[in-house]
Amino acid sequence: MPSCDVCPLQFCVLIRRGILGPRLVSSSSFPAVYPACSMGNGTSRLYSALAKTLNSSAASQHPEYLVSPDPEQLEPIDPKELLEECRAVLHTRPPRFQRDFVDLRTDCPSSHPPIRVMQWNILAQALGEGKDNFVQCPVEALKWEERKCLILEEILAYQPDILCLQEVDHYFDTFQPLLSRLGYQGTFFPKPWSPCLDVEHNNGPDGCALFFLQNRFKLVNSANIRLTAMTLKTNQVAIAQTLECKESSRQFCIAVTHLKARTGWERFRSAQGCDLLQNLQNITQGAKIPLIVCGDFNAEPTEEVYKHFASSSLNLNSAYKLLSADGQSEPPYTTWKIRTSGECRHTLDYIWYSKHALSVRSALDLLTEEQIGPNRLPSFNYPSDHLSLVCDFSFNEEPDGLL
Ligand SMILES: NC(=O)C1=CN([C@@H]2O[C@H](COP(=O)(O)OP(=O)(O)OC[C@H]3O[C@@H](n4cnc5c(N)ncnc54)[C@H](OP(=O)(O)O)[C@@H]3O)[C@@H](O)[C@H]2O)C=CC1
Ligand SMILES: [Mg+2]
């Protein structure tokens, strides 16, 4: 955040207009966070790509740069080179955890490449540093300059076609500029009263973000939804987009949400879930097109909101259940942290999909308890308290009537 007297919401508006931007970082700040190493020409260009997102606090010191957008920002980035650059920034950290895709291939053959979807609550920087109280996580593990690279590394490692993110509070200065150069089209919907805004030196509100690869999909329709509960507007949001696959010309709806957190709010979450389902019914015209809903539902499978989704007339199934032996049980955890109140191990994150119209071809296995370690998450190895969920989907060949 700039040190000038601009409130976080105004800051967002300024960035959105393209007045403030990642161009503002002086290259003199770079060596402090980047190890000396030899780089080819391509990497040198990337050096500037990543460096420009490293420290937006330089904004107020270089008002002369608040002019035109940098044409370099529009140049594509080679994902391999960005990955190498992230690894160089992270060279003092322990290696990434190995996670494998579990093959869930059904009999249905598919002539088109699968659609890879990533669901991830990436942990808002302001909440991680100022609100979450992760008592076993060293503050150095939360440094944005490095944590950002861990997040990017995870995205680059799995190369999702669609990314559904929650707790994004670095959209305009980091994810939008970098992911757009990797070929993604992004949409951000901040929470109306993000708790990030209460944290000193925050980077603006957190919210949901949805990215898709432009060479694979065409955007047909997009809706930013402020969820209601018992007709009252709430602080929680969703984004729902109808996309058309360029290979197959088939359309589907993809949605991302982050429901109200904390115990005692179960009925509130349930009402928010009903509102989201109603919105999705309208958008898919009663499920005439297949649907994928990703989210941090802040609800265990025992909660009412989960049951609404499982029994909805939209005919949804939860993809990660397919990793269990009987195909009926959710994983034992999708988030695991230690707060002042003690250990918090919960299953809260889901990828719902139209069970008749889509098949899950594979799913990324979760981290084991041993990999997560005794201090749990986030950690030097893993940037968020929530695990990423990644699935490969393909369309079933059945007629639309079976949705
Ligand atoms: N400025 C203003 O006028 C207003 C400000 N607010 C702010 O918004 C907040 C409420 O916003 P709301 O959207 O309802 O927030 P939520 O209750 O949904 O939680 C917000 C975040 O807190 C995290 N969280 C969950 N449990 C805990 C915990 N035990 N300790 C710390 N963090 C936790 C959640 O992460 P996860 O999902 O990963 O569990 C979530 O991202 C208020 O506390 C206030 O700070 C609200 C209204 C007005
Ligand atoms: Mg959180």
For 361-390, letters b (16+ CB in 10 Å) and e give: bbbbbbbeeeebbebbbbbbbbbbbbbbbb
- Return the pLDDT at 398: 63
Q: What is the pLDDT of residues 341-354, one digit of tens each?
A: 999 999 999 999 99
Q: Which residues pair with 202 in a beta bridge?
A: none
Q: Which atom of ligand 1 is nearest to the CA of 261?
A: 18
Q: What is the pLDDT of residues 71-97, one digit of tens each?
A: 666 799 999 999 999 999 999 999 999
Q: Which ligand is nearest to the CA of 258?
A: 1
User: Which among 377, 392, 273 is positioned nearest to 334, based on CA atoms?
Assistant: 377
> Taking CA 78 as the corner, what is the angle to CA 37 and CA 97, rounded to the nearest 5 degrees?
70
- Return the pLDDT at 74: 74
Q: What is the pLDDT of residues 275-325, one digit of tens each?
A: 999 999 999 988 799 999 999 999 999 999 999 999 999 999 999 999 999
Mean pLDDT over residues 143-150, rounded?
98
% of the chain with per-residue pLDDT over 70: 80
Q: What is the whole-number distance in angstroms between the Cα of residue 195 and the centre of ligand 1? A: 5
> Taking CA 203 as the corner, what is the angle to CA 202 and CA 207, rounded to the nearest 5 degrees?
105
| Least reliable range by pLDDT among 3-17, 87-101, 222-236 | 3-17
In this predicted structure, the answer to whether residue 36 has a pLDDT above a threshold of 90 is no
pLDDT top residue among 137 and 40: 137
Q: What is the pLDDT of residues 107-136, one digit of tens each?
A: 767 788 999 999 999 999 999 999 999 999
In this predicted structure, the answer to whether residue 41 has a pLDDT above a threshold of 80 is no
Residues in the chain: 403
CB 248 within 8 A of CB 110: no
Q: What is the whole-number distance in angstroms between the Cα of residue 127 and the centre of ligand 1? A: 9
pLDDT top residue among 13 and 264: 264
> Taking CA 168 as the corner, what is the angle to CA 164 and CA 171, rounded to the nearest 5 degrees?
100
- Return the pLDDT at 18: 26
Find how far residue 338's CA is from the centre of its chain. 22
- Return the pLDDT at 325: 95
Q: Which of 119, 120, 131 to mutate to test the pocket of ligand 1 (most atoms within 8 A of CB)?
A: 131
- Return the pLDDT at 105: 79
Q: What is the pLDDT of residues 176-221, one digit of tens each?
A: 999 999 999 999 999 999 999 999 999 999 999 999 999 999 999 9
- Return the pLDDT at 399: 53
Find how far residue 121's CA is from the centre of its chain. 5
Tell me the C-alpha distance between 64 and 66, whole Å.
6
Q: Which ligand is nearest to the CA of 191?
A: 1
- Return the pLDDT at 197: 98
- Return the pLDDT at 108: 67
Q: What is the pLDDT of residues 257-269, one digit of tens each?
A: 999 999 999 999 9
Q: Which residues pair with 186 in a beta bridge?
A: 211
% of the chain with per-residue pLDDT over 90: 77
Q: Which atom of ligand 1 is nearest to the CA of 121?
A: 38
Find how far residue 209's CA is from the centre of its chain. 6
User: Which among 118, 103, 87 is positioned nearest to 323, based on CA atoms?
Assistant: 103
DSSP codes of every residue in 64-96: GG-SSPPGGGGS---HHHHHHHHHHHTTTSPPP
ipTM confidence score: 0.94
Q: Which ligand is nearest to the CA of 340?
A: 1
For 157-189, letters b (16+ CB in 10 Å) and e give: bbebbbbbbbbbbbbbbbbbbbbbbbebbbbbb
> Band of the pLDDT at 26, cuts 50, 70, 90?
very low
Q: Which residues line ligand 1 (CB under 6 A)?
A: 121, 127, 131-133, 167, 191, 193, 195, 197-198, 235, 260-262, 296, 298, 339
